[in-house]
């Protein structure tokens, strides 16, 4: 009953000064919607950049690292040895790739494991020549890993399975060389091997460098281009359930197999640094805006406390305790906060709905923003915490008012 | 006669700007149903004494008993509860909550006390306003009333919890003579017909002389 009267007084204060209340609510609304929107955008950015990374990069890449020659004699006290360590001219093939693959596949969280042989090639058609990278894959497994079918624009990716000399080329190559599906294309490898392939499909990733240089062929064809047998595997690619755990699982694989295993974040360090920077800036800016909204509430409550100083004095004279006074003003702040938060959530939803439909083009396509429930919840919680404290500080001040000081003025 | 309020050797000092004793060994009793006026020049300590009696000022030495209960040394929250239940206040500046209607202003201390239901409180508040001739103003916002009417609302508010004592700090200080008479008549009526105890600080000698008992203060001491 007595807490009820506190709420009623708080409500009266909120609705009797609509202008102040509206300004405070608008502040929270803006802070809230910008916070949710920007953070949802951040998630969207990360997701879209990850999607484009995972079109050409696996979560983990296992390969044989170059070895540095070791000093044979370990006793430099007795002998003077001239040491000049160099990369050992070793073959960088993975020995017994099938066994390694089955070891990796047995690991928890591993979804796809597929071998890959990359070969630098020249694409020739008549007199025109383009240098590029031909990726030797096992079509089914590679599609599982990179979802190649999702960015095919012409032809049929599945034909690669039945045609040993099939090739899927990037749209840039097809444009430059005026090639379409069912045309022939000649590839020259770094080992001087020349082979003619039949185009079974064309893909387009929207990344022009990739589209102008990359092609997919069967792994066996790639091995032939490099003059190697069918056990020649340079890379084993691994996809796992949660890409965020790549580093951790890579280390485990590395320990188990003895080959170097590298997570995608390590392989894309520049991009990761950019992401991190973006994250920091957005988090900082959005939190600042939310904090400014908090200052708005703080200010307005401070003002209310000064205006209502006589009310507070008389309430205390009539038997309201310090905590009742705190409750009155905190209720006021939290109510303003709640109204602002609800309006902010609606506003953020509208903003996201509108911007989702904006087409940016290029690698990104549509504006990479979506409704992120975690960010909504996060925004609401942080918003309410800030408004609580923005109200609590002036409320505490109000609670400390000594009524005698006011009455004796 | 039952003693409602009693002080024992109350002393109070101000330290700012220099040490100064405002109250010196104040000892007196107030009986139930008394209409007591405290007079004295500015700086005689009468208001200071009233605020000590009201339990709002706790910075003094000596003992204060209200309703035979020692209130000296109680926590602020305990004192707030005592004020809520046992003391009603009427001030010079009426201090009504401007956003609330007269009726709500009268009801607030009772809702805070929480002993009665909302309907019972409302009925009581109406009754008090009627007693003071304000039933027609009940639903108007407090700020829309004249000074004399506002002071009567404040008296109704002071009465709502049937307090043991009503304390007034210059209750007629801001009123014209007509309203002063009205307020005085109300106070007298309250003591005569309802046995209400009233302690009022006033500058108005006429007001004081019509009351039952006068305490005159000078330089922090009771003269009579």
Q: What is the pLDDT of residues A208-226, one digit of tens each?
A: 888 899 999 999 999 999 8
Over residues A82-88, the mean pLDDT reads 72
Residue B99 distance to chain A (closest CA, Å): 7
State residue A168 phi and psi, 5-degree precision. -110, 120
Band of pLDDT at residue A121, cut at 50, 70 and 90: very high
Dihedral angle sign, alpha carbons of residues A118, A121, A126, A129: positive
Would the CB atoms of A314 and B95 count as touching at under 8 Å? yes
Would the CB atoms of B114 and A313 count as touching at under 8 Å? no
> Residues B96-110: pLDDT tens digits?
888 888 888 888 888
Q: What is the DSSP string of A111-141?
A: EEEEEEEEEEEEEEETTEEEEEEEEEE-HHH
Residue of chain A nearest B76, judged by CA positions: A321
Residue B177 distance to chain A (closest CA, Å): 23
- A2 closest CB neighbour out of B47, B114, B169: B114
Q: What is the DSSP string of A336-362?
A: HHHHHHHHHHHHHHHHHHHHHT-EEET
The whole-chain average pLDDT of chain A stands at 86
CA distances from A314 to A72, A383, A405, A406, B108 (A): 92, 33, 12, 9, 11
Contacts of A407 in chain B (CB under 8 A): 51, 91, 169
> Residues A301-342: pLDDT tens digits?
888 888 888 888 888 888 888 888 898 888 888 888 899 999
Contacts of B83 in chain A (CB under 8 A): 317-319
Q: Is A407 on the interface with B (CB under 8 A)?
A: yes
Q: Which residues contact A294 (CB under 8 A, 6 or more apart)?
A: A31, A386, A387, A389, A390
Match 């049937």 to its residue by tokens: B162
Question: What residue ranges do the domains of chain B occupy?
Answer: 33-44+73-222
> Residues B15-57: pLDDT tens digits?
878 888 888 888 888 888 888 888 888 878 888 888 888 888 8
The pLDDT of residue A349 is: 92
d(C-alpha B102, C-alpha B100), whole Å: 7
Q: Contact, A233 vs A62, CB < 8 A? A: no
Residue B16 distance to chain A (closest CA, Å): 14
User: Which of A2, A9, A319, A328 should one mutate to test binding to chain B, selecting the residue with the greatest count of B CBs within 10 A?
Assistant: A319
Listed residue (B5, B16, B9) closest to B61, CA to CA: B9
d(C-alpha B49, C-alpha B26), whole Å: 9
Would the CB atoms of B77 and A322 count as touching at under 8 Å? yes
Over residues A189-204, the mean pLDDT reads 91
Q: Helix, strand, or coil here: B30?
A: strand
Would the CB atoms of A16 and B113 count as touching at under 8 Å? no
- B84 closest CB neighbour out of A9, A313, A319: A319
Q: What is the DSSP string of A61-118?
A: EEEPPPPBP--S---TTT--------B-----PPSSHHHHHHHHHTSTTEEEEEEEEE
Over residues A40-68, the mean pLDDT reads 84
Would the CB atoms of B93 and A310 count as touching at under 8 Å? yes
- The H or E element that residue A377 is part of is helix A373-399
Contacts of A310 in chain B (CB under 8 A): 93, 95
> Residues B130-148: pLDDT tens digits?
887 888 877 888 888 888 8
What separation, in Å, do the N-terminal and C-terminal C-alpha atoms of chain A show?
33
Does the predicted model carry a pTM greater than 0.80? no
Over residues A263-270, the mean pLDDT reads 84
Band of pLDDT at residue A2, cut at 50, 70 and 90: very low
Residues β-bridged to residue B66: B5, B69
Q: Contact, A37 vs A352, CB < 8 A? A: yes
d(C-alpha A376, C-alpha A371), whole Å: 8
Would the CB atoms of B97 and A1 count as touching at under 8 Å? no
Q: Is A327 on the interface with B (CB under 8 A)?
A: no
Q: Is A16 on the interface with B (CB under 8 A)?
A: yes
Contacts of A403 in chain B (CB under 8 A): 56
Per-residue pLDDT at A1 exceeds 60: no
Residue B212 distance to chain A (closest CA, Å): 26
Band of pLDDT at residue A78, cut at 50, 70 and 90: low
d(C-alpha B77, C-alpha B79), whole Å: 5
Q: Is A13 on the interface with B (CB under 8 A)?
A: yes
Would the CB atoms of A5 and B112 count as touching at under 8 Å? yes
Question: What CATH number labels B33-44+73-222?
Answer: 3.40.50.300
How large is the ipTM?
0.87
- Specify the DSSP class assigned to residue B6: E
DSSP 3-state helix, strand, coil percentages of chain B (rounded to 5)? 40, 25, 35
Q: Contact, B160 vs B124, CB < 8 A? A: yes
Q: Contact, A21 vs A15, CB < 8 A? A: yes
Would the CB atoms of B112 and A9 count as touching at under 8 Å? no
d(C-alpha A74, C-alpha A76), whole Å: 6
Listed residue (A224, A56, A192) closest to A124, CA to CA: A192
Would the CB atoms of B97 and A9 count as touching at under 8 Å? yes
Match 């960088």 to its residue by tokens: A92
Crossing angle of the two packed helices A269-307 and A373-399, in degrees rounded to 10: 30
Residue of chain B nearest A408, judged by CA positions: B47
Q: Is B116 on the interface with A (CB under 8 A)?
A: no
Question: What residue ranges do the domains of chain A occupy?
Answer: 2-53+271-407, 60-264
Q: Contact, A313 vs B95, CB < 8 A? A: yes
Contacts of B108 in chain A (CB under 8 A): 5, 9, 315, 318
Q: Contact, A68 vs A87, CB < 8 A? A: yes
Alpha helices in B54-176 (DSSP H): 76-86, 102-113, 118-131, 147-159
Dihedral angle sign, alpha carbons of residues B200, B203, B208, B210: negative
Q: Is B74 on the interface with A (CB under 8 A)?
A: no
């Amino acid at each position: 009953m007595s807490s009820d009267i506190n709420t009623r007084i708080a409500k009266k204060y909120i609705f009797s000064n609509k202008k102040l209340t509206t300004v405070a609510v608008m502040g929270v609304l803006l802070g809230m919607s910008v916070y949710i929107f920007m953070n949802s955008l951040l998630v969207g950015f990360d997701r879209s950049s990850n999607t484009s990374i995972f079109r050409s990069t696996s979560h983990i890449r296992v390969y044989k690292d170059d070895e540095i020659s070791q000093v044979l004699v370990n006793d430099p006290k007795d002998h003077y040895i001239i040491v000049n360590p160099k990369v050992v001219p070793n073959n960088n093939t993975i020995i017994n790739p099938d066994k390694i693959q089955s070891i990796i596949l047995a690991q928890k969280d591993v979804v796809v494991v597929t071998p890959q042989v990359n070969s630098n090639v020249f694409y020739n058609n008549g007199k025109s020549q383009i240098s590029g990278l031909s990726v030797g894959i096992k079509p089914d497994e590679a599609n599982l890993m990179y979802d190649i079918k999702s960015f095919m624009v012409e032809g049929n990716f599945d034909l690669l399975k039945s045609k040993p000399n099939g090739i899927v080329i990037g749209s840039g190559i097809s444009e430059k060389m005026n090639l379409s599906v069912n045309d022939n294309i000649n590839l020259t490898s770094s080992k001087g091997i020349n082979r003619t392939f039949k185009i079974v499909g064309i893909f387009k990733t929207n990344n022009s460098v990739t589209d102008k240089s990359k092609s997919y062929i069967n792994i066996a064809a790639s091995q032939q281009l490099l003059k190697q047998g069918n056990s020649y595997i340079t890379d084993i690619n691994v996809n796992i359930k949660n890409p965020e755990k790549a580093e951790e699982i890579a280390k485990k694989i590395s320990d188990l197999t003895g080959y170097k295993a590298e997570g995608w974040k390590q392989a894309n360090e520049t991009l990761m640094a950019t992401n991190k920077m973006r994250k920091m800036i957005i988090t900082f800016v959005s939190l600042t805006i939310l904090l400014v909204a908090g200052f708005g509430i703080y200010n307005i409550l401070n003002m209310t406390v000064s205006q209502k100083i006589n009310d507070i004095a008389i309430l205390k004279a009539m038997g309201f305790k310090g905590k009742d006074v705190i409750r009155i003003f905190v209720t006021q702040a939290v109510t303003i906060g709640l109204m602002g938060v609800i309006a902010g959530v609606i506003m953020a939803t509208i903003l996201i709905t509108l911007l989702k439909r904006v087409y940016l083009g290029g690698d990104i396509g549509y504006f990479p923003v979506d409704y992120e429930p975690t960010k909504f919840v996060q925004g609401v919680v942080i918003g309410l915490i800030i408004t609580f404290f923005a109200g609590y500080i002036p409320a505490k001040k109000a609670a400390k008012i000594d009524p005698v000081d006011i009455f004796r003025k | 006669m039952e003693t409602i309020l009693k002080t024992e050797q109350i002393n109070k000092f101000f330290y700012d700007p220099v040490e100064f004793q405002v109250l010196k060994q104040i000892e007196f009793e107030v009986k139930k149903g008394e209409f007591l006026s405290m007079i004295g020049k500015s700086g005689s300590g009468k208001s200071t004494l009233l605020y000590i009696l009201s339990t709002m000022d706790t910075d003094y030495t000596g003992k204060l008993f209200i309703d035979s209960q020692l209130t000296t040394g109680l926590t602020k929250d305990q004192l707030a509860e005592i004020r809520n239940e046992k003391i009603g206040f009427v001030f010079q500046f009426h201090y009504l909550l401007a956003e609330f209607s007269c009726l709500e202003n009268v009801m607030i201390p009772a809702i805070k006390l929480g002993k009665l239901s909302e309907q019972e409180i409302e009925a009581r508040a109406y009754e008090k306003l009627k007693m003071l001739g304000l039933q027609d103003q009940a639903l108007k916002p407090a700020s829309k009333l004249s000074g004399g009417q506002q002071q009567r609302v404040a008296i109704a508010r002071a009465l709502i919890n049937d307090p043991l004592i009503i304390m007034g700090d210059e209750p007629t200080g801001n009123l014209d003579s007509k309203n002063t008479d009205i307020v005085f008549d109300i106070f007298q009526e309250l003591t005569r017909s309802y046995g209400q105890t009233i302690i009022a600080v006033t500058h108005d000698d006429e007001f004081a002389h019509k009351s039952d008992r006068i305490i005159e203060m000078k330089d922090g001491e009771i003269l009579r």
